Structure 1
Amino acid sequence: MVRRGWRWAVVALGLAVLVALPALVAALPADDRDLSAAELRAQVVASEDVAFSGYAISTGGLVLPVSDALTGVADLLSDQTALRAWYRDADDWRVDVVTATGETGTHRDASGTWTWDYADQRASRGDDPPLALPSAPDLLPSALGRRLLSEATDAELTRIAPARVAGVDAVGLRYTPADAAASVSAVDVWVDPGTGLPLRVVVRSADTDVPALDTRFLDLDLSAPAASTTDFSPPADSDITRDQDLRDLDLGRQERADLPSALAGLARRTFDGVPDQVGAYGSGITVLAVSALPGRAAGSLRDQLSRTPGAVVDDLGVRIAAGPLSLMVAGTSTRDGGSGTYLLAGTVTLDALAAAARQIQEAGR
């Protein structure tokens, strides 16, 4: 009996060591490099064609009140996602989401993406639209780090202490948004100094110590994976569908949203393929999207947001914050005497949402 108890104690200790190993390795001292913040950002932006394969974990700290249509996005931003990646270049990669019940793989080629559900034997084809909801491949540290730093200015960047990530002495970079409307307080990125590849990204908001998002590689191989690993053709007997993107959504019958050229101090931007009813504002990590809502969707979404703890309900509409992400349903009058409803969403403060809603109301009058 004593021996059996001793053996189980050894097993328990071994499991504890395995679970703690990534954290213990990350705590080891890391060597720094003599690189300026601007030089490090330039390396990150230029790392799009760095080949690698690896295993990553993304942990989201947001709790979003969403409809069934957005359940997948809410899971990505509020739960832990395990990712295996094989990356040859920007148009040739594969990312598998690993769960207890199976895997779902996304394969990128020159024409778009294939998403393959192993359990259901179902494939869907996407064509890389200008507007799309976040998906698991977007959470890879390499992709997220490049995207978030792509529009950061030199004045918004500082160096931070290095850290051990996936066995690499990764150098640290902090992006602190300068916009007064920003709800993100800082983005910390740790980078492989040899390739510029982001290895860990932590997104923080000022109102909590819990990161809104923490994604990191646990294992990394910087050799190019085989082309056969990333290639995909759906089996002949599989069920094939087309991915829905935001261009497929019914944004109402309005020909054009009557939106100003700036909202809450953020300038409006234009993108090819984006409907006129959608206004995109800001840059870098501080962005705001505004869309006209059809009446049948506006009522249910307004009710859902108003039931969320901490919701602000006033004459402008209803608005909530989930970490650095803010949502608002706002009503306004139109020039022909009618009324309209808008959805405002982005990484801005609740005060910025209120300011934007007032400007939209004024433009409508």
Structure 2
Amino acid sequence: MASRRTGAAGRWAVVGVGVAVLLALPSVVGALPASDAATSAPELRRQALASTGVAFTGHAQAAGGLALPVADQLTGVADLLSDRTTMRAWYRGPADWRVDVVTPTGETGVHADGTGTWTWEYEDDVATRSEPSPLALPAAPDLLPSTLGRRLLSEATDGELSRLGAERVAGRDALGLRLVPAEEAASVARVDVWVDADSGVPLRVQVVGEDAGAGPALDTGFLDFELGTPAADVVAFDVPPGADVRAGEDARLLQAADRAARDGDRVRLPDELAGLPRRTIEGAPRGVGVYGRGVTLLAVSPLPWRVAGPLLDALRASPDAVADELGVRIAAGPLGLMLLRGPDGPVLAVGTVDLDALAGAATELTGGDR
């Protein structure tokens, strides 16, 4: 919106004073004191989780502070978690929304309907159809504050929650809610969610790792937010004539894990790992194990050497890498990543757990000595 207002000022200089007032208005409104409410932490969480049906239009920005030394397989994820992502959102409901990712060179729109998503790359004239997947690498729409906030609060217990004060976010009163995970293995120190006082929609989310002095590992928030149902034709997507239509593919790492599992039992996946219980995820490749809950999760997957080799080189190149008889592991903020030596080949372990938990998981999986 700032760029639009700047352009308007250039075209209509005669109303420059009025435009200057409009430009200053968002910061003035944001500086107004926020009104707090006597809402308990559990009740505020309930309101946030119940806001999935609240329609809105918004403009958000996410800033990732994670420096992932990864190979080609995870370049997109690394960029998403380390760069600044600008998004425009039109949300009619959980299965009826549109999120445009805006970059200096153009924009990419993701349109959801009841059976999947269309991703429209305008500059390349490519439309990609993706079906729902039980496991997927994060994408830009996952960083929208409303989506991420509900996701991170979804499995929190009352004992992990406390109230913060109130702030102004996108010109609205937002009530603060802090989540401190209880798991010993957790590498996330806290998650702060600012919830719209009127609608319950999360307006801002900050994820802070153990090194709080380094700032948030992820900070996403709305810059503009307006309640109301967007027009259906704004959200809907029809493939333009002549567009290159492609089918979405599962993440290459998940495909590789499924193939590795079919080749043999690379590693035994226990019912508990690093003190975290195993989750049941219907439809997930049988070679992938996911452990934990809420903001403390650990995923384990066997990898073929053609995938693991470049990843191992990237991990070793990190100045903070820890290499020992168990494998190589790094911490990028609250995200831990390890390539361990399984009994029949390499195994990837990744999640929001600390390096000690990764080493412990490797010991349990391989029977090695710590």
Same fold (TM over 0.5): yes
Provide TM-score, normalisation by structure 1. 0.90
* Aligned-partner Cα distance in 2 for 1:179–1:23: 39
1:203 to 187, 207, 225: 207
1:343 aligns to 2:348 (yes or no): yes
Q: Secondary structure at the match of 1:47?
A: helix
1:289 aligns to 2:293 (yes or no): no
Unpaired runs of 5+ residues, structure 1, are 1-10, 334-338
1:322 aligns to 2:328 (yes or no): no
2:256 corresponds to which residue?
250
* Aligned-partner Cα distance in 2 for 1:300–1:144: 30
2:81 corresponds to which residue?
77
Instruction: Determine if contact 1:105/1:115 at 8 Å carries over to the other structure.
Output: yes
Q: Which amino acid aligns with 2:187?
A: S
2:181 corresponds to which residue?
177
* Aligned-partner Cα distance in 1 for 2:282–2:32: 46
2:165 corresponds to which residue?
161
Q: Which amino acid aligns with 1:224?
A: T
1:264 to 271, 274, 286: 274
* Aligned-partner Cα distance in 2 for 1:188–1:22: 23
Q: Which amino acid aligns with 1:230?
A: V
* Aligned-partner Cα distance in 1 for 2:25–2:331: 35
Instruction: Determine if contact 1:27/1:163 at 8 Å carries over to the other structure.
Output: no
The 1:23/1:361 distance shift into structure 2, 3 A limit, reads farther
Query: What's the RMSD between the two structures over aligned residues?
Result: 1.9
Instruction: Determine if contact 2:297/2:351 at 8 Å carries over to the other structure.
Output: yes
1:137 aligns to 2:147 (yes or no): no
Percent identity between matched residues is: 58
2:241 to 236, 240, 245: 236
* Aligned-partner Cα distance in 2 for 1:176–1:154: 10
* Aligned-partner Cα distance in 1 for 2:311–2:74: 12
The 1:352/1:21 distance shift into structure 2, 3 A limit, reads farther
The 1:26/1:320 distance shift into structure 2, 3 A limit, reads farther
Instruction: Determine if contact 1:77/1:213 at 8 Å carries over to the other structure.
Output: yes
Offset at residue 145 of structure 1 (A): 0.2
Instruction: Determine if contact 2:267/2:342 at 8 Å carries over to the other structure.
Output: no
* Aligned-partner Cα distance in 1 for 2:124–2:117: 18
1:118 to 117, 122, 125: 122
| The structure with more helix, counted as a fraction of residues | 2
User: Which moves more between the two structures, 249-258 or 221-230?
Assistant: 249-258
The 1:229/1:260 distance shift into structure 2, 3 A limit, reads same
Instruction: Determine if contact 1:257/1:278 at 8 Å carries over to the other structure.
Output: no
Q: Which amino acid aligns with 2:256?
A: D
Instruction: Determine if contact 1:256/1:276 at 8 Å carries over to the other structure.
Output: no
1:215 to 204, 208, 220: 220
The 1:24/1:345 distance shift into structure 2, 3 A limit, reads farther
The 1:317/1:231 distance shift into structure 2, 3 A limit, reads same
* Aligned-partner Cα distance in 2 for 1:358–1:28: 53
Instruction: Determine if contact 2:69/2:317 at 8 Å carries over to the other structure.
Output: no
Q: Which amino acid aligns with 2:348?
A: L
* Aligned-partner Cα distance in 2 for 1:85–1:71: 24
* Aligned-partner Cα distance in 2 for 1:361–1:264: 13
Q: How many residues of Structure 1 are paired with residues of Structure 2 in the alignment?
A: 344
* Aligned-partner Cα distance in 1 for 2:149–2:34: 20
Instruction: Determine if contact 2:266/2:342 at 8 Å carries over to the other structure.
Output: no
CA deviation vs aligned residue, 1:115-155 (integer Å, no higher than 9, x gap): 00111110000111011110010000000000000000000
Offset at residue 21 of structure 1 (A): 7.5
Q: Secondary structure at the match of 2:52?
A: coil
Q: Secondary structure at the match of 2:318?
A: coil
Offset at residue 28 of structure 1 (A): 3.4
Instruction: Determine if contact 2:71/2:310 at 8 Å carries over to the other structure.
Output: no
Instruction: Determine if contact 1:255/1:276 at 8 Å carries over to the other structure.
Output: no
Q: Which amino acid aligns with 2:154?
A: S
Q: Which amino acid aligns with 2:255?
A: L
Unpaired runs of 5+ residues, structure 2, are 1-15
* Aligned-partner Cα distance in 2 for 1:22–1:240: 40
